[in-house]
Structure 1
Amino acid sequence: MNETLNIEERKPIWIALSDFYLDTELQESDFRHIAFKIIESPYSFEKVKEINKYEVFPVLQPNLMSVAGEWAGFDEKWLVDSITESLAKRNAVKKIGIGSSYLTLKWMCKDYWEKLEKVYQELKSNPESYIVTCKELWKSNIEPFEYLENKPELQNKLERIALNHKNRNKLSDFYQYLQEGQYWINLWTAYFLLEVFKLKKSDKLIGLNNEAGIIDFCIETVEKNQPYLEKEIAKSNCEKWIKNKKTAYNNGYK
């Protein structure tokens, strides 16, 4: 194995790319997660493709060939140990063999790589986007409901993006973010849907969950996530917010 290889820098990429080799279909949020890991890394997209080809593919490709492959996620320690062991045994002949196998089997992840590159380029070219701003709030350790007054600029920025969706009548585009489980995106989205958009009880999540009312779904989303907030002020503010919204929307709060 190349002694100059920085394992700690590689690990997040190895772990993120391992999702490509699970026996399950990836969702939009999965591609965004992987793209963010690449953006946060010191590697270019082309370098990550090379890392996949010579480091991840040789270890995990057999899972895609298995009748009953792993689908829930690979054990991270096993993954890192397996890749480092594979690299330690690497020689020129084995590298040529890996390259040949990759040419034969890369079609199995071809669509994933095309999708990932598209998402990666979108995130790189639009640092002012809603999702990127949610991520910046998360990195700054600012939780939803932590600030209901005297909000930090990043939170104000996120609210402006939500308002822009409202002003452009992009409600359906905006509530798609309710599907995002990382960086508190779904929680921020539920909050802004009820704070910024003028919703009616009859409004439904058309295209996402046609039978679900937006208001009820947002309140349920906040209630489910409230216990996972880490800061007591955020939990307390969130609880008060839920009570106020249930009262305002006549959801039968007692």
Structure 2
Amino acid sequence: MTAKALEGRVFELWRRFQALPLDLQTDVTRMRENLLSSEVKNEVFAVRAGSTTTPNIATASGDAVLRVIEQKVAEDKAISRSKGYAAKLADGLVQSGFLAPPKDSTALEGFPFDAKRSSFVGVDPGLADPGFTSVWSAREGAIQAGTLQRQRSGFLARLMGSTEPCYVVANDKSKAVFVFESDVALQTLDTLDVASEATVEFADELRHGVKVSTARNTETFGADSKEKQEEWLNSFINAGAQYREAFNVADTAKIQSFYELK
């Protein structure tokens, strides 16, 4: 998929990793495997217990990760020992989706592993809680990702307004639509299974609105333009939802048939 379709830091970092020299990518993979070995993993990562509604989180200090990298570089003759290479390997761990970047960081490289009290969350499948879906675990198979407005309902709508921003990933591989609080979230706000009996339609409730409905739940999203509205509608269809034509005479001009969108 194009960069335009897959917005957000996880995808930007992954594209940066894929642009790295192949030798560096290979060495990052070696480093990931080393950090996942039982001995190193238990030494470097500490697990903070979650609950039934929050995931267990594995964290490591930046300096501990750097020490392991530098030790591996010194031991493994196949890995480059050029100046600054350990820092590139550390960055590669974030870019490849092994570690999460600092929550408020928009950087794509130069992560503060050597900063005092720096801490990184493990988001690799070998570290993350398998009972929860993060943006990283939703990356493979994603066909559309980006920020949308999400319709609130009930008391929250009266208290905080009718909409809130959210980060949405439409995934063709898992046949699901994942709703997150942000583009680096470790768990979903909602998941819509669109593998069967799911519908999608244009929605009047929000500007440039799209509604996805399943037997279990319904979400209404607002895009920032008509073009984006149609892109998201098409992505939800491609992820598995069936197009449901909204029979609203006032909106007939903006409705495209299912076959036109495929």
The TM-score with structure 2 as length reference comes to: 0.29
TM-score (normalised: structure 1): 0.29
Task: Name the structure where helix makes up a greater proportion of residues.
Answer: 1
